[in-house]
């Protein structure tokens, strides 16, 4: 007799998020919502534990949302929060019957014995809310993606902006006791003390600037502002060269104004000290070609990363910056320039508000990544319209920052580039020559002094340098270029150190390939 085959197929466990015939339920925790509301009305200090975690919209049940709003109203007016005051607040607003009357309020207090775990429960409710926001967000994007009339680029910008908003809601940091921070501060002081140059931050390569700032500090937002043709890009490229080539520090440059090839051409002109016009048209003589190929070697392995995405959004920047810091250990971000960025997908009513959102986001990104962010900014025409004679007549001021006062507010440091020579001012009040000189004016410094730093500017090379740098001219016929006197620097054993410049000068004629 053959026995019937037993059914060995295992029954699938029911998914609590799926109701047969009704689809899926959104992420929610109504029981925890009741527990949290009950705890808020039992413990007088409970609201302070959840105020930075929960917003009314975090509650899935509309009734719970109304009750929590009443709790927030009481707390904001510094009134006690308990069963009676919440009931009276709801009655005053005409919402008591809508939530089930005083009986439902009293029932909530029976759901919990104490507020011992209220912060943990609140975080679960907040996570459920963020999950619902993501579901709504992706559903809307999917619906719009099916519409033929929707421009894909606009849709991507909207998606980036909304996703950035949602991700920002999840960036919460816990309070830390001061002793932990003191230990970190002491470690930083010890590191600075061990540095030969006494810097606690990232060196810019400009001695006077480093002395006033102790280097660019981690988590700082630095604004470098100037009118067009003052040399904003030349300044940050000179600084990127000092960091990446001379010191080997990884640095990233986001160029919204120029292509990556144009930017690198200016960097080549800076490093090789060849006129930018010759780099562009290729009209170099034999010695200049030799100089180009010889000195460009230092750029090949320099940890300088360039991104030329036009109209870069805040979300795109954040995504790329995180990857650069994580994968390449980038120590500094440079943005050229702030007003060309956009906050696509985010809510704003005017261009001024959009710039405010951008500057605030840059400061938040600097803190999140713990690296300095140096953003270039345009100035308005107030400088040109200002009357005055002498070297100080056209000096920029904080009020000249273009489009938004929030830039000044959000920045840890605001610096202006001023070249009197541009305004046909060739001498200062004491008769000193200002030809080829530039001033970096530190107008705001949240953690240090303000003042002026003198620099030398070589426009033909798009290069800023320390005014005290000793320069030794090259032999005639070498394109008028100059090399630093560091080629005569002694090594640690007392011997003369070899540099590319000294090697080139010491070669015999038969070693030159021309």
What is the structure's pLDDT at 480? 37
Residue 358: count other Cβ atoms within 10 Å of its Cβ: 28
pTM equals: 0.63
Bigger pLDDT: 281 vs 490: 281
Give the pLDDT mean for 354-368. Answer: 84
* pLDDT at residue 484 greater than cutoff 70: no
- Average pLDDT of the segment spanning 116-123: 86
Residue 390 pLDDT > 70? no
Residue 425, pLDDT > 80, answer no
CATH number, domain 23-150: 1.10.860.10
Share of the chain above pLDDT 90, in %: 7
Q: Which of 451, 419, 449 is nearest to 435 (CA)?
A: 419
Does residue 138 register a pLDDT over 70? yes
Instruction: Evaluate if residue 316 carries a pLDDT over 90.
Output: no
Beta carbons of 487 and 473 less than 8 angstroms apart:
no
Return the CATH number of 199-469, one of 3.30.70.20, 3.20.20.70, 3.40.50.300, 3.50.50.60. Answer: 3.40.50.300
Q: Boundaries of CATH 1.10.860.10 in the chain?
A: 23-150
Give yes or no for residue 414 having a pLDDT over 60: yes
pLDDT digits 0-9 by tens, 38-65: 988 888 778 888 887 888 889 999 999 9
Active-site pick, 257, 368, 408, 460: 257
Dump pLDDT digits (tens) for 139-160: 888 888 888 777 787 787 777 7
- Strand 332-336 and strand 251-255: the pairing is parallel
Confidence category of residue 386, pLDDT binned at 50, 70, 90: low
pLDDT at 309 over 60: yes
At residue 389, the pLDDT reads 54
The ranges of the chain annotated as CATH 3.40.50.300 are 199-469
For residue 55, what pLDDT is reported?
Answer: 87
- In tens, the pLDDT along 438-455 reads 888 888 888 888 888 888
Residue 490 in this model has a pLDDT that exceeds 50: no
**Which of 27-36, 169-178, 274-283 comes out lowest in average pLDDT?**
169-178
Rounded to whole angstroms, how far apart are CA atoms 232 and 375? 10
Residue 399's pLDDT is what?
A: 74
- Predicted pLDDT at 171: 57
CA distance 149 to 103: 52
160 is catalytic: no
For position 192, what pLDDT does the model report?
A: 67
**Does residue 478 register a pLDDT over 80?**
no
Per-residue exposure over 341-355, b if at least 16 CB sit within 10 Å of its own CB, e if not: bbbbbbeeeeeebbb
């Amino acid at each position: 007799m053959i026995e019937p085959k037993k059914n060995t197929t295992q029954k699938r466990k029911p998914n609590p998020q799926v109701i047969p015939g009704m689809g899926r339920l959104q992420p929610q925790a109504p029981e925890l919502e009741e527990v949290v509301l009950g705890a808020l009305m039992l413990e007088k200090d409970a609201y302070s534990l959840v105020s930075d975690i929960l917003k009314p919209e975090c509650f899935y049940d509309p009734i719970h949302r109304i009750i929590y709003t009443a709790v927030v109203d009481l707390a904001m007016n510094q009134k006690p929060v308990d069963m009676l005051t919440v009931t009276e607040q709801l009655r005053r607003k005409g919402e008591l019957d809508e939530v089930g009357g005083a009986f439902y309020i009293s029932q909530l207090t029976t759901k919990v014995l104490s507020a011992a775990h209220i912060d943990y429960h609140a975080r679960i409710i907040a996570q459920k809310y963020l999950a619902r926001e993501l579901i709504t967000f992706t559903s809307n994007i999917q619906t719009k993606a099916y519409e033929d009339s929707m421009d894909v680029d606009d849709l991507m910008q909207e998606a980036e902006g909304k996703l950035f908003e949602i991700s920002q809601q999840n960036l919460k940091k816990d309070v830390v006791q001061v002793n932990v921070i003191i230990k970190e501060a002491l470690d930083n002081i010890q590191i600075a003390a061990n540095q030969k140059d006494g810097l606690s931050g990232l060196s810019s390569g400009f001695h006077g600037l480093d002395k006033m700032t102790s280097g660019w500090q981690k988590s700082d937002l630095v604004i470098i502002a100037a009118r067009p043709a003052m040399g904003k890009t030349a300044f940050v490229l000179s600084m990127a060269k000092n960091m990446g080539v001379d010191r080997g520090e990884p640095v990233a440059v986001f160029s919204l104004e120029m292509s990556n090839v144009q930017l690198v051409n200016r960097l080549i002109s800076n490093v090789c000290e060849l006129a930018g016009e010759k780099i562009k048209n290729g009209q170099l003589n034999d010695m200049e070609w030799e100089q180009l190929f010889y000195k460009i070697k230092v750029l090949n392995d320099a940890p300088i990363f360039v991104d030329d995405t036009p109209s870069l959004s805040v979300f795109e920047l954040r995504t790329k910056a995180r990857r650069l810091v994580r994968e390449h250990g980038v120590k500094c971000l440079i943005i050229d320039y702030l007003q060309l960025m956009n906050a696509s997908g985010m809510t704003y009513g005017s261009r001024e508000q959009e710039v405010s959102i951008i500057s605030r986001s840059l400061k938040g990104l600097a803190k999140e990544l713990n690296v300095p962010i140096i953003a270039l900014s345009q100035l308005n025409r107030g400088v040109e319209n200002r009357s005055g004679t002498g070297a100080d007549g056209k000096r920029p001021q904080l009020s000249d920052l273009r489009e938004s006062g929030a830039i000044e507010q959000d920045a840890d440091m605001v610096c202006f580039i001023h070249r009197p020579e541009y305004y046909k001012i060739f001498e200062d009040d004491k008769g000193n020559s200002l030809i080829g000189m530039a001033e970096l004016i530190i107008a705001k410094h949240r953690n240090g002094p303000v003042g002026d730093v003198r620099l030398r500017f070589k426009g033909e090379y798009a290069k800023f340098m320390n005014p005290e740098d000793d320069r030794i001219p090259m032999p005639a016929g070498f394109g008028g270029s100059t090399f630093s006197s560091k080629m005569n620097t002694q090594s640690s054993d007392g011997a003369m150190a070899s540099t590319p410049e000294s090697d080139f000068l010491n070669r015999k004629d038969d070693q030159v390939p021309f």
